[in-house]
Copies of this chain bind each other. A is one copy, B any other.
Amino acid sequence: MVDTASRSTKTPADERRTPTVPAKPARDEVAAPIPAPAADATPVESAPRIDVAALGRQLLGTWADIRIAARERAAQPELQRIEGQTMAEHRERVLEQLQRLADDGAVHRAFPTALGGDDDHGGNIAGFEELVLADPSLQIKAGVQWGLFGAAVLHLGTQYHHEKFLPDIMSLKVPGAFAMTETGHGSDVAAIGTTATYDEAKQQFVINTPFRGAWKDYLGNAALHGTAAVVFAQLITKGVNHGVHAFYVPIRNAKGGFLKGIGGEDDGLKGGLNGIDNGRLHFTNVRVPRENLLNRYGSVAEDGTYSSPIASPGRRFFTMLGTLVQGRVSLDGAATSAAAMALTIAITYGNQRRQFNAASDTDEEVILDYQRHQRRLLPRLATTYAQIFAHDEFLVKFDAVFSGKADTDDDRQDLETIAAALKPLSTWHALDTLQEAREATGGAGFLAENRLVGLRHDLDIYATFEGDNNVLLQLVAKRLLTDYSKQFAKADAGAMARYVVAQTAERAYHGTGLRRLAQTIADFGSTARSVSELRDEETQRELLTDRVETMIAEIAGRLRDARKLPKADAAAAFNRNQNELIEAARAHAELLQWEAFTRGLAKTTDPGTKQVLTWLRDLFGLGLLEKHLAWYLIHGRLSPQRAQAVTAYIDRLLERLRPHAQDLVDAFGYRPEHLRAKIASGAEQERQDEARAYYAAHRAAGTLPEPEKSKR
């Protein structure tokens, strides 16, 4: 066991005096060198303390009050998951819960004030995200109803549709499906097969499913509860396909039977989210009035003439899809909440659970005192903090765009790029953290009563719905490549030449053939700088920024001629760089998170909290460096010495942070009604206390049987 409490009283000066020396000098054995722990230049007179309440308020972010109210709601047992219900029971329960949310007006913030909403987009998402605490099925089914089905009517429809359809959607009188994905097309929405052909004679659209692959699939509310759907289809009029548009289509009668021409299937049991009735739909020449085209971005006149405020079909398509970005926003937040819950459970248990008595004859170690256990949980805690800060900024940006406060094309594109960058990382992080928390709590973690497995099952699909994570990251990378090209397009004639010189110089220096935008940073390969620089905010920023820029510059260099190639060859060239492109996008997203954490840190005022959060941010930053250490070494950005210091300093940070682990998860502010995990309820502490008291009493009374060992 590392006695972190006593170690933290050691002054930095002590450590500098004995940088590489173990407790006793070696005499008769070989002196093997030991990596020096990075000396800490910050004098810490006494151990810092976190102001948990203040930190908790900061973590709640911009819409703190809405989150607090939403958490009160999520604490109601009626809204919570009952483990072990059958799929049918669970679906029924979640539908009832949805009605309760509608009746309480808990889900209408994003809708127009005129219809009883608040026109509050950021607040709406903040409140919505917290539903994950009650049951992810409730969150996602609410998301289907109001965030997809309702939001499509809101954002793709016009006044007519708002007045005609939104009231019943808001009240849940009309549960509906968001019929975009098809069995054959998920990521490539533009290629869906469903058609909506305008019939001038009857002024109707004819919705049709031409083949099995064009069945709508995986749609919440489609298997049972939906009586209408927003159906995405290729709009065809006068023999021209104007691309994907959305149509409001009634699908079931009051008795729950499909309307004429409509059929479907239940997707059945899923890996999680079984409170949602996902299903398939298909359409055989189903007719809807011309007015049912949600026509904000494209209209068809009575005579079949198509018109749109956006001339380019491509831009129109992306603008339409862009109005639905809120799904990605809310998954980023909900996934981060799930990770925070998982860590609260695992760290609370890890602080109470004991196993093995390596350091003492009587007392077993608290498992969070084991270095490996810290390595498993604390870096994930740092990432979760980064995500919380990044998410709040993301939500502020989303609110600015959707409220119209800052709603240029550039703003919208930035928002979509941020969404495509952050959602993959946070949803993967949630799965990874839930799994690590499960394993870190052993057999107990596998029991449904401790919540981790249920959350993991439900969150699994977050990695591929609302945009497959790998596809989203590729979108980010393409944007980064485009930005990179623009930079050179605007540059004067000398810029390229200077870039060449800089590259060549670097190549000569590092000998590894490449690569960095000349202006970005100074040389980090120098061994002269002290290892303590790794703790420096600017060093971390520059190393992380440099990696993104260099990766993109390298790929751009390799692809610079691809545009001139025949389509197939260009695609092949792109494909040969696909993996690295996605890794570059990930690096970009990591940088966004790191920047957000750093800005959050700058707003922290309490000195003790600031100190601990600085260590946590450093753990996040150095964790990224360690993960990508080979890249930094290959590219000469870190010397082998400094690379070793990264890991040594991470070990040091773990020791420092360990005493604050409980405060750091307590600051998330989850109450027992939110966690609902027996192992995080204090029951483990009671068991440990009882067992230790039992042995202590028997030792004191001399009634403990003597161990056989001591007889020999």
Convert A436-477 into 0s and 1s, putting 1 for each residue whose CB lies closer than 8 angstroms to a CB of B.
001100111111110011101100110111001110001000
Contact status of A568 and B360, CB under 8 A, knowing A449-B268, A514-B33: yes
Cβ–Cβ contact A271 & B191, under 8 A: no
Whether the pair B372, A470 counts as a contact (CB closer than 8 A) is yes
A554 CB-CB contact with B under 8 Å = yes
Q: Which residues from 31 to 60 on chain A have a C-beta closer than 8 Å to any C-beta of chain B?
A: 31-35
Q: Which residues of B contact A360 (CB under 8 A)?
A: 567-568
Decide if A700 is an interface residue (CB 8 Å cutoff): no
A268 touches B448 (CB 8 A): yes
Q: 0/1 per residue, A236-256, Cβ < 8 Å to B?
A: 100111110000000000000
Taking each of A370, A372, A643, which has the highest tally of chain B beta carbons within 10 Å of its own beta carbon? A372
Contact B371 A707 (CB under 8 A): no
CA distance A214 to B448 in the complex (A): 21
Flag if B643 contacts A371 (CB, 8 Å).
no
Question: CB-CB < 8 A to A688: which residues of B?
Answer: 184, 213
B211 near A691 with CB under 8 A, answer yes
A29 to B493, CA, bound (A): 11
Residues of B within 8 A of A514 (CB): 32-33
A711 at the interface (CB under 8 A from B): yes
B709 touches A578 (CB 8 A): no
Q: Is the CB of A267 within 8 A of B709?
A: no
Q: Does A479 contact B (CB under 8 A)?
A: no
Stretch at the interface among A117-125, A415-423, A555-563, A660-668: A555-563
- Decide if A23 touches B181 in the complex (CB within 8 Å): no
| Cα separation A469 to B708 with both chains bound (whole Å) | 30
Closest Cβ of chain B to A197, distance in Å, is 8
The reply to whether A640 and B634 contact each other, CB–CB distance below 8 Å, is: yes
**B691 lies within 8 A of A271 (CB):** no
Residue contact A461 to B449, C-beta cutoff 8 Å:
no
Complex interface bits, A80-98 against B, C-beta within 8 A gives 1, otherwise 0: 0001101100000000000
Q: CA separation between A24 and B565, bound complex, in Å? A: 8
Q: Given known contacts A22-B561, A35-B513, A372-B582, is B575 in contact with A1 (CB within 8 Å)? A: yes
Docked-complex contact A572 and B3, CB < 8 angstroms: yes
A486 neighbours in B (Cβ, 8 Å): none
Write the chain B residue with the least CB distance to A236.
Answer: B705
Contacts A355-B185, A630-B633, A633-B634: A690 and B22 contacting too (C-beta < 8 A)? no
A687 within 8 A of B: yes
In this assembly, does A528 line the interface, its C-beta being within 8 Å of a C-beta of chain B?
A: no
Tally A residues with Cβ within 8 Å of B. 150
User: Which residues of B lie under 8 Å from residue A641 when comparing CB positions?
Assistant: 511-513
In the complex, which residue of chain B has the Cβ closest to the Cβ of A217?
Answer: B443
Residues of B within 8 A of A86 (CB): 84, 86
- Select A33's contact among B87, B183, B240, B513, beta carbons within 8 Å: B513
- A320 an interface residue at 8 Å Cβ cutoff? no
A16 at the binding interface (Cβ < 8 Å): no
Q: A33-B507, A372-B578, A634-B644 are in contact. Are A448 and B271 (CB under 8 A)?
A: yes
Given A240-B711, A270-B448; A22-B633 close (CB under 8 Å): no
Complex: A502 Cα to B470 Cα, angstroms: 46
Task: Give the interface centre of A26, A643, A687 by most chain B CB atoms within 10 Å.
Answer: A687
> Hey, which chain B residues are within 8 Å of A186, CB to CB?
355, 442-443
A322 interface residue (CB < 8 Å to B): no
Whether a CB of chain B sits under 8 angstroms from the CB of A574 is yes
Instruction: Pick from A306, A457, A626 the residue with the most CB of B within 10 Å.
Output: A457
- A143 contacts the other chain (CB 8 A): no
Are A240 and B460 neighbours in the complex by a CB distance under 8 Å? no
> Given B445, B461, B503, B630, which contacts A30 in the complex, CB threshold below 8 Å?
B503
Across the interface, name the chain B residue whose C-beta is closest to A428. Answer: B439
The answer to whether the Cβ of A576 comes within 8 Å of any Cβ in the partner chain is: yes
- Residue from the list B29, B243, B456, B460 in contact with A708, Cβ < 8 A: B243
**Contact B705 A239, beta carbon cutoff 8 Å:** yes
Q: Are A448 and B269 in contact (CB under 8 A)?
A: yes
With CB as the reference atom, state the residue of chain B lying closest to A565.
B23
- Whether a CB of chain B sits under 8 angstroms from the CB of A275 is no
Chain B residues contacting A358 (CB-CB under 8 Å) are 567, 571, 574-575
Taking CB as reference atom, which chain B residue is nearest A375?
B579
A510 interface contact, C-beta 8 A? yes
Give A677 Cβ to nearest chain B Cβ, in Å: 13
Q: Closest CB-CB distance, A465 to chain B, in whole Å?
A: 7
Say whether A512 contacts B644, CB under 8 Å: yes
Residue of B nearest to A234 (CB): B705
- Could you say which residues of chain B place their CB within 8 Å of the CB of A339? none
For residue A314, CB closer than 8 A to chain B, the reply is yes
Q: How far is the CB of A576 from chain B (nearest CB, A)?
A: 6
A125 to B448, CA, bound (A): 30
Query: Which residues of B have CB within 8 Å of A626?
Result: 630
Specify which chain B residues have a CB less than 8 angstroms from the CB of A410 in the assembled complex. Answer: none
Other 18 A-B pairs with CB < 8 A, given A240-B705, A271-B456, A371-B576: A23-B561, A29-B561, A30-B496, A30-B557, A181-B443, A186-B442, A212-B690, A240-B708, A241-B708, A271-B452, A358-B575, A371-B577, A372-B579, A376-B470, A511-B641, A512-B644, A513-B644, A576-B651
Q: Which residues of A contact B (CB under 8 A)?
A: 1-3, 22-24, 26, 29-35, 83-84, 86-87, 181, 183-188, 191, 193, 210-214, 217-218, 234, 236, 239-243, 267-272, 306, 311, 313-314, 355-361, 364-365, 369-372, 375-376, 431, 435, 438-439, 442-449, 452-454, 456-457, 460-461, 463-465, 468-470, 474, 496, 499-500, 503, 507, 510-515, 553-554, 556-558, 560-561, 564-565, 567-569, 571-579, 582, 626, 629-630, 633-636, 640-641, 643-644, 651, 686-688, 690-691, 694, 705-709, 711-712
- A-B CB contact pairs (8 Å), 27 listed: A1-B568, A1-B572, A22-B558, A23-B565, A23-B573, A30-B560, A32-B556, A33-B507, A183-B444, A184-B688, A186-B443, A187-B356, A211-B687, A212-B690, A213-B687, A218-B446, A240-B711, A241-B705, A271-B452, A271-B453, A271-B457, A359-B571, A375-B579, A376-B470, A512-B644, A579-B651, A633-B643
7 closest cross-chain pairs (CB), A and B: A32-B557, A271-B453, A629-B630, A359-B571, A269-B448, A358-B571, A241-B705
